[in-house]
Amino acid sequence: MDTRRILISRREALSRSANGFGALAFFSMIQAQAGLGGQSPLSAKPPQFPAKVKNIIFLYMDGGPSQVDTFDPKPRLQEENGKPFKMKMEPTQFNNNGNTLGSPWKFSQYGKSGLPISELFPNVAKHADNLCVIRSMTSNFSEHTSANYFLHTGLGLSGRPSMGAWVTYGLGSVNQNLPGYVVLNGGLVPPGGLDNFGSGFLPASYQGSILRAGVKPLANISPLEPKPGLQENKLSLLKKLDAEVVREFGVADQLESAITNYELAYRMQSAVPELADLKGETEATKKLYGLDSDNPNLRSYASQCIVARRLVERGVRFIELTCSQTGGNDRWDQHSNLFKGHNENARAVDQPIAGLLHDLKARGLWDSTLVVWAGEFGRTPFAQGNDGRDHNPYGFSIWLAGGGIKGGFVYGATDEYGYKAVENKVTIHDLHATMLHLLGMDHTKLTFRFSGRDMRLTDVHGEVVKAILA
Amino acid sequence: MSIVSKQLFRMMQWVFISGFLLQQIVAQSGTLPGGDVDFFEKQIRPLLADRCYKCHSEQSEKLKGALKVDSREGLLRGGETRTALVPGHPEKSLLIEAVNYTNPDLQMPPKDRLSTEEIALLTLWVKHGAPWPKSSRASSNPAGSATTTGIDIDQRKRDHWAWQPVVQSKLPRVNNPAWGFNPVDQFILAGLEKNHVKPAPDADKLVLIRRLYFDLVGLPPTPEEVAHFINDDSPTAYLQLVDRLLGSHRFGELWGRHWLDLVRYSETLGHEFDFEIPNAYRYRDYVVRALNADVPYDQFLREHLAGDLLDNPRINPDSGENESLIGPGFYWLGQQTHSPVDVKAHQSEFIDNQIDVLSKTFLGLTVACARCHDHKFDPIPTRDYYSLYGVLSSSRYSQRSLLTPEKNRTTLQHIATGKGNIRDDLIDLWLPQSKEITNYIAALQSPTNASLRAGLNTNKLNALKQSLDDWAKLPSINKATPTMLWVDASNPSSLNDWTVEGDAFRDAMVSVNETLILDNDHPPRLVVEPMVHSGRLSGRLQGAIRSPTMTITNRFLHLRVAGRESRFNIIVDNFLIIQDPIYGSLRRVMDREELNWITIDLERWKGHRAYVEFSDYPTRDLGSGGKGAYGETGWIAFTHIVKSDLSTPPEIGVPTFKNKPELPLISQLENELSLIKRQSNQPAMLLSLLVRHGFFDHSKLDVGAMKILENKLSHNPRAPSMADGTGLDESIFVRGNHRLEGENAPRRFLEAVDGKSRPSFKLGSGRRELAERMLHSENPFPARVAVNRVWHHLFGRGIVASTDDFGKLGQEPTHPELLNWLASNYRSDLGWSTKKLIRLLVTTRTYRMSSKVLDQSAEQADPSNLMWHRMPIKRLEGEVIRDTILALSGRLDESMYGVSVPVHLTEFMEGRGRPGHSGPIDGARRRSIYQEVRRNFLSPLMRTFDMPVPYSTVGRRTVSNVPAQSLILLNDPFIKDESMNWAKRVMKSKDDGALGIIRRVYQQAFGREPTLEELQQSNEFLTEQAKLHGTIGIDESTVADLCHVLINVKSFIYIN
């Protein structure tokens, strides 16, 4: 068998090579690329059918932006502003429902498509002809945490694999020096915590790696040895002693791949900090994203967006960006003070996202990348108290852009008040199915046997939203 | 579009969504435009065909909801819920409700609403009797109820091995009977011989001792222990070692962790704020103790299911605590939602997880797969799922007191006697003092006459004034009793169905003219109306009293209640995190001495099930609410509970007089004193007021004896457990939707095990009966599943590899006869003893085989080692790796039990509910099983080495092999610290130079001497590192570097 021959020669390499540490690295890289040995769970795997995109950047809008203030204009709300809300109100999280609340922001039509976008997103609006807005998005939960788990894992409880974990499980990673699924932590871990990015019952290899800004972007990525050479010596001795273990234990695939992991880990120690280091970016690029802004939140999100692009360039499959903390606002979760909160949150992300879209196009990454902008739910068209909006999972807006997606396109609709989706309803499962489809995977066939079932990201639901595919 | 419909459309244009309005409009038009047939064929049939047939017709590839709309009969019969069509009544027709999207759970077509016009047409059609031309084809399958199960249970049972009874298998014949050490080997050898595979040679003694240590206690042997075993040539050496390890306390700590994986052990609830589950650690300790004590597995199962309901619970001989009571704690280790908008949806998720964990852990069955439909593969209909659901929804969370009532019984008897004596003393105090009242009344009546006040006590004067003011306010007529009086303490039978827990409410009915002394800090009181009072015997006693489950029909609940450091909760659909937003109003924290009406608005929860709980337990309820509700001396009292649709409480409660006596009151007072002396039940109102307001001087009252007695009351530890509630069946939730109820599902065990005509459970929730049915000899699952789990841990893979799923989608047993033999022996000869089972298995020759690949032909014949032709190499679990490191660094603290060590928080562990303080990086040097498990803040070290997310049962952990593990072992500060500690320990013990040190760390880590090559390489390394460190000779940091390397060597985390 070819695999075995290669393994044996690997072992020979291990026991014979007295060279430095790198020689083996080269070897394992070839092996990983060839997909042989099967030890690395992150080895790149081909999609089930030709993929439209290779990477996904998920711009998670924590807290739930309001659809009627961003991408779903409802003149009727203005007309009935301050009057009792005419539709039947479903129970809400705070049970403090006020009157109809018109949007304090004006909408304009942009681009050739005339896509209406509110003045909260003047920069993103410049890409209107590239955006596919789904206005009929729905969720099953009115509570942040449940809705977060649902958006991320397809179930309203913790413990299931996140979409990024499924993607990495399905496709592996083309870059063995970086984690396959990266979460760029902007400062706000969403309600529900890190389990939004977990691997659930999938092997832990597929869980999201949390990257933070700063010199130590990833846990345990920095060697603790005080001087150069100390760690290399350790690794060199380790290699020799491991060779003895292989002799003692006999053939064992798990030992082989555990040894290989040290090669990878060693390279990650430099690859990860390099990734987060923006020194090499031009001034023009930095400006494009807004790194020169006087708004610290905008700068923070801008650097996340640049790192996201760098991750795409390096072949990382699934990248999620969490939001940063703006002012005294609790994420996009404006139960009160809608005007201030949404203004500040939008300002923090608008230019960086627009910059990212521009940059992806300029660098030829557009067609191979899918950008998804979404919160866990939307907000009520009626007020909470006087100047806030409560959670609304019955109909809200998200957008997609990039490879394989129709631009300047609106799909689905809510009712006249923007309360509930009434046309072409899209579920979270549908969104997941569509994302997997674009990556070349049939969501009904990406399965993992657990609990006596072939588990899926989409459970037993989900249909690809074909109408939005280019 | 026809003209008619165009007209209709115009009419409708101003109508938005409201189906109700539409119905009103269409009601006004006459017959169907164009005639019935024409209207149907032109308007209705095409519409149904176009928008509904895909999922609801003969031609549907996959019929949804068992509903066909391609015939009138189909519509009339309806789907899983009920009839879809009531001709002439659009408002009663589900079809119309569905297309109108008014019910969020029934919206059809699901993706796209019909147009307003189309809805109007359908409504009009139904309004006119839903005419359907006779010629049109009737459904070819008119029979068949939508709710009966479609699966053939007997057929499925016959077709799958796991449902066959456990029978004592015969030992197979083998060619080489001399090879085996016990019958288990015979089964393994028979399999090997059949395939012409030779078993591997025996492993050497070093391998064996390490294998046994890591498999049985999860720690490495010391060099001395290794030497002793290797040098002991006696034939019993191996067995002695096994017995010593099985007798070690460390055994329960390793195997306890295996068990915790099954019950998704966590000490917090997860979700948004990750609230704590108080005392969850006591469940963990219970598991460790039970394993060390080798509690028979059938008893262990019984305690898990119904430990709170056993007639003869297992009492811990050391502590006197009720061990059995802790078993049901496992039900509550799942996650719970903070402030769910739909409380019943939350309950259905929570119970689903309980069923999932219960059925997988003890039965190896995925009963939860039958939540929305009959199980796809196994003989488990949805009905069975809701039978178990009813059992669990009839059970309640409770933090139970672990000491048995006997513990305090004598003391309480003495207290009761003592309180009787105090009452006599009080009366003796009151009699002489009451004579003074004449003077005080005179002083009050002539406030300007200063001479009357001379020599009088101002406090007493004020007390009298207040008492008389209150007296004046007393009502003098009896109010009518309201009709919705639920509880009335003067009628104790109104509390008959209430359940009492703990000491406080066991003897809590206070009667008229009883004196009440909570404790030394409280002045005595004279009670003038019957009430339930948790402090009757002593304020130190604690407990809870709970109502039967009711369905909320009235908007308001009025409760007349008093108390301190206590609370009452309205628990709706068993929802326990009672706090804002949404639920805060369902809890009231008590901070009032006097009885008062409190009104709870239940509008939001009408139609839900609920119960009332009064509690003065000092243990926190779930969530962060209830500030001020907890204290060791809390008490709560109540007299009336009224269900009402009025927002104001009824005017009952204050004791009244038919004819209120007039002033002067001295005769009244004398009268009352004689009343209480005679123990009359006519209330001594005035006396009571005077006592309350402090007219009497009680400084001479001697309560010293009482004080001593109360101090003798034992501190009562608590643990999360169950309390049985009202036994109520649940209806099947159609397609798993709790808002669509189908037929009733009586509480009972699985049909496939217990038969179609099995009786329903009778006692309370039915958990006790469920436990017995599960343990019945006809149920093949518990024993097979349990022995397979043990096999899995010892041999690296179960005989059934899918340890938690013995169903059709699980894996087949590789050695079914062996599994049967083991299960049957486990139940009989071994008496469900897990230790005896382990002893049997590790003394097989199979277990003692080498893991080394030596025989290529064996590898080819059995490449995945399914026949166990050799032992597998095993990766140590994260917990064992960490414990081993601490053992080697010499810092492992072997103390057992108790509150968990708080989780160490790295800067990457962020999010809501993050504890204010991080635990120590070395976990206080305690074993890993004593480290806190917080759902939202799991230890990255443990997670990376595959400790499961506490979500559902995991009997078989993933064994991943990823660079993140290398990064932890290379760069984690804990590893670095312990490498240094290990180095210090090694250097402190002896000064024998580099080679001596190398030899000793090797012996400690791997139980053996280094090879010559290893010795040389390590020695060169030490020299190199010393050079780089800039030290002269070998120092701690250099040796720490070597220790660090050894932790990274593969034989550190893999054992052969």
- The CA-based angle B480-B483-B486, given to 5 degrees, is 115
- The pLDDT assigned to A240 comes to 95
pLDDT band for position B10 (50/70/90)?
Answer: very low
Examine residue A287 and state whether it is found in any structural domain, yes or no.
yes
> B531, B524, B521: which is closest to B559 by C-alpha?
B531
Q: How far is A262 from chain B (nearest CA, A)?
A: 6
Please indicate whether, in this complex, the C-beta atoms of B1028 and A229 are within 8 angstroms of each other: yes
- The alpha carbon of B391 is separated from its chain's Cα centroid by a whole number of angstroms, namely 14
CB contact at 8 A, A190 and A148: yes
Please indicate whether, in this complex, the C-beta atoms of A221 and B967 are within 8 angstroms of each other: yes
> What percentage of chain A carries pLDDT values higher than 70?
91
Q: How far is B798 from chain A (nearest CA, A)?
A: 15
- The pLDDT assigned to B575 comes to 97
pLDDT digits (tens, 9 = 90+) for B535-547: 999 888 999 999 9
Please indicate whether, in this complex, the C-beta atoms of B337 and A449 are within 8 angstroms of each other: no
What is d(CA A30, CA A46) in angstroms, rounded to the nearest whole number? 17
Beta partners for A423?
A: A413
Q: What is the mean pLDDT of residues B196-215?
A: 97
| 3-state secondary structure at position A384 | strand
- The pLDDT assigned to B23 comes to 43
CB contact at 8 A, A232 and B1030: no
Residues with Cβ within 8 Å of B600's Cβ and at least 6 positions away in sequence, in order, are B556, B557, B558, B559, B570, B585, B586, B588
Please indicate whether, in this complex, the C-beta atoms of B366 and A146 are within 8 angstroms of each other: no
Q: How far is A97 from chain B (nearest CA, A)?
A: 13
> A99, A129, A124: which is closest to A114 by C-alpha?
A129
Q: Which residues of B444-480 are buried (b: 16+ CB within 10 A; e: fewer)?
A: beeeeeeebbeebeeebbebbbbbbebbeeeeeeeee
pLDDT, averaged across chain A: 89
pLDDT band for position A22 (50/70/90)?
Answer: very low
Question: Looking at the predicted structure, is the pLDDT value of residue B625 above 90?
Answer: no
Q: How far is B651 from chain A (nearest CA, A)?
A: 31
CB contact at 8 A, B584 and B604: no
Tell the residue number behind the tokens 């832990």, with chain if given.
A204
What is d(CA A33, CA A30) in angstroms, rounded to the nearest whole number? 5
Tokens of B264: 């998704």
Entry field: residues in chain A? 470
What is d(CA B429, CA B423) in angstroms, rounded to the nearest whole number? 10
Examine residue A415 and state whether it is found in any structural domain, yes or no.
yes
At B237, the amino acid letter reads A
Could you count the other beta carbons within 10 Å of the beta carbon of residue B1000? 19
CB contact at 8 A, A433 and A458: yes
Q: Would the pTM of this model clear 0.95, i.e. be above it?
A: no
B439, with CB counted inside 10 A (0-12, 13-18, 19+), is middle
User: Quick one: DSSP state of residue A124?
Assistant: G
What is d(CA B816, CA B821) in angstroms, rounded to the nearest whole number? 9
pLDDT band for position B476 (50/70/90)?
Answer: low
Please indicate whether, in this complex, the C-beta atoms of B338 and A190 are within 8 angstroms of each other: no
pLDDT, averaged across chain B: 90
Tokens of A198: 């977990």
Nearest-Cα residue of chain A relative to residue B579: A94
Q: How far is B273 from chain A (nearest CA, A)?
A: 8
- The CA-based angle A168-A169-A172, given to 5 degrees, is 55
Chain B interface, best mutation among A145, A149, A414, by max B CB count within 10 A: A145
Residue of B270, B906, B971 lying closest to A224 (CB–CB): B971
CB contact at 8 A, B371 and B736: yes
Question: Looking at the predicted structure, is the pLDDT value of residue A8 above 70?
Answer: no
Nearest-Cα residue of chain A relative to residue B100: A422
Q: What is the number of domains present in chain A?
A: 1
What percent of the residues of chain B are helix, what percent strand, and what percent coil, each to the nearest 5? 45, 10, 45
At B758, the amino acid letter reads R
Beta strands in A14-126 (DSSP E): 55-60, 97-100, 107-110, 115-118
Question: Looking at the predicted structure, is the pLDDT value of residue A250 above 60?
Answer: yes
- The CA-based angle B902-B907-B913, given to 5 degrees, is 55
Most confident range, picked from B514-528, B656-670, B680-694, B1038-1052:
B1038-1052
pLDDT digits (tens, 9 = 90+) for A187-212: 788 888 888 998 888 887 788 888 88
> What percentage of chain A carries pLDDT values higher than 90?
72
Please indicate whether, in this complex, the C-beta atoms of B1045 and A237 are within 8 angstroms of each other: yes
pLDDT band for position B836 (50/70/90)?
Answer: very high
Question: Looking at the predicted structure, is the pLDDT value of residue A166 above 50?
Answer: yes
> A211, A193, A93: which is closest to A153 by C-alpha?
A193
What is d(CA B749, CA B727) in angstroms, rounded to the nearest whole number? 15
Could you count the other beta carbons within 10 Å of the beta carbon of residue B210? 20
pLDDT band for position B27 (50/70/90)?
Answer: very low
- The pLDDT assigned to B664 comes to 59
Please indicate whether, in this complex, the C-beta atoms of A158 and B935 are within 8 angstroms of each other: yes
Q: How far is A327 from chain B (nearest CA, A)?
A: 18
- The pLDDT assigned to B658 comes to 58
Nearest-Cα residue of chain B relative to residue A209: B964
Residues of B in contact with A160 (CB under 8 A): 951
Examine residue A237 and state whether it is found in any structural domain, yes or no.
no
Q: Which of B10-14, B119-123, B954-958, B1033-1037 has the lowest mean pLDDT?
A: B10-14
Residues of B in contact with A244 (CB under 8 A): 1011, 1013-1014
- The pLDDT assigned to B926 comes to 98
Q: What is the mean pLDDT of residues A349-364?
A: 98
Residues of A in contact with B377 (CB under 8 A): 452
Q: Is the peptide bond before B581 cis (omega within 30 degrees of 0)?
A: yes
- The pLDDT assigned to B22 comes to 40
Examine residue A284 and state whether it is found in any structural domain, yes or no.
yes
Q: Which residue has the higher pLDDT, A252 or B335?
A: B335
Nearest-Cα residue of chain B relative to residue A202: B958
Task: List alpha helices for B249-373, DSSP H.
Answer: 249-262, 280-292, 297-306, 343-363
Could you count the other beta carbons within 10 Å of the beta carbon of residue B6? 11
Examine residue A4 and state whether it is found in any structural domain, yes or no.
no
> B783, B723, B769, B297: which is closest to B544 by C-alpha?
B723
pLDDT band for position B274 (50/70/90)?
Answer: very high
Q: What is the mean pLDDT of residues B402-425?
A: 88
Quote the domain boundaries for residue A134: 43-223+273-468
Q: How far is A106 from chain B (nearest CA, A)?
A: 25
Examine residue A327 and state whether it is found in any structural domain, yes or no.
yes
Residues with Cβ within 8 Å of A343's Cβ and at least 6 positions away in sequence, in order, are A120
Nearest-Cα residue of chain B relative to residue A392: B341
- The pLDDT assigned to B661 comes to 65
Examine residue A161 and state whether it is found in any structural domain, yes or no.
yes
Q: What is the mean pLDDT of residues B555-574?
A: 96
Q: What is the mean pLDDT of residues B7-15?
A: 44
As a whole number of Å, the CA-based R_g of chain B is: 37
Please indicate whether, in this complex, the C-beta atoms of B805 and A452 are within 8 angstroms of each other: yes
Q: What is the mean pLDDT of residues B977-1003?
A: 93
Chain B interface, best mutation among A201, A238, A417, A464, by max B CB count within 10 A: A238
Q: What is the mean pLDDT of residues B884-895?
A: 98
Residue of B341, B958, B961 lying closest to A39 (CB–CB): B961
CB contact at 8 A, A191 and A256: no
CB contact at 8 A, A138 and A123: no
Please indicate whether, in this complex, the C-beta atoms of B912 and A189 are within 8 angstroms of each other: yes
Please indicate whether, in this complex, the C-beta atoms of B1050 and A41 are within 8 angstroms of each other: no
Nearest-Cα residue of chain B relative to residue A205: B962
Q: How far is B428 from chain A (nearest CA, A)?
A: 57
Q: How far is B70 from chain A (nearest CA, A)?
A: 24
| 3-state secondary structure at position A257 | helix
Q: How far is A433 from chain B (nearest CA, A)?
A: 15
Q: How far is A451 from chain B (nearest CA, A)?
A: 7
Q: What is the mean pLDDT of residues B730-748?
A: 92
Q: What is the mean pLDDT of residues B520-535?
A: 88
Please indicate whether, in this complex, the C-beta atoms of B875 and A262 are within 8 angstroms of each other: no
pLDDT digits (tens, 9 = 90+) for B146-188: 344 579 999 999 999 999 999 989 999 999 999 999 999 999 9
Please indicate whether, in this complex, the C-beta atoms of B582 and A227 are within 8 angstroms of each other: no
Q: Which of A135-139, A420-424, B27-31 has the lowest mean pLDDT?
A: B27-31
Q: Which of B72-86, B855-869, B882-896 has the lowest mean pLDDT?
A: B72-86
Interface A-B: count of C-beta contacts within 8 A: 273
Residue of B338, B908, B1051 lying closest to A145 (CB–CB): B338
What is d(CA B68, CA B702) in angstroms, rounded to the nearest whole number? 82
Nearest-Cα residue of chain A relative to residue B1029: A227
Q: What is the mean pLDDT of residues B657-673?
A: 73
Residue of A224, A254, A425 lying closest to B973 (CB–CB): A224
What percent of the residues of chain A are helix, what percent strand, and what percent coil, each to the nearest 5? 40, 15, 45
Please indicate whether, in this complex, the C-beta atoms of B851 and A250 are within 8 angstroms of each other: yes
ipTM: 0.84
Chain A interface, best mutation among B908, B977, B1047, by max A CB count within 10 A: B908
Examine residue A259 and state whether it is found in any structural domain, yes or no.
no
Q: Which of A385-389, B37-41, B255-259 has the lowest mean pLDDT?
A: B37-41
Nearest-Cα residue of chain B relative to residue A230: B1025
Please indicate whether, in this complex, the C-beta atoms of B581 and A454 are within 8 angstroms of each other: no
- The pLDDT assigned to B452 comes to 84
CA dihedral sign, ordered A21, A22, A27, A33: positive
Beta partners for B532?
A: B509, B638
What is d(CA B749, CA B781) in angstroms, rounded to the nearest whole number? 13
> What percentage of chain B carries pLDDT values higher than 90?
66
Please indicate whether, in this complex, the C-beta atoms of A93 and B582 are within 8 angstroms of each other: yes
Element (H, E) at B192: helix B183-194
Nearest-Cα residue of chain A relative to residue B955: A451
CB contact at 8 A, A451 and A425: no
Nearest-Cα residue of chain B relative to residue A422: B113
Q: Which residue has the higher pLDDT, A41 or B124?
A: B124
Tell me the CATH number at A396: 3.40.720.10
What is d(CA B10, CA B907) in angstroms, rounded to the nearest whole number? 64
- The pLDDT assigned to B482 comes to 57
Residues of A in contact with B102 (CB under 8 A): 88
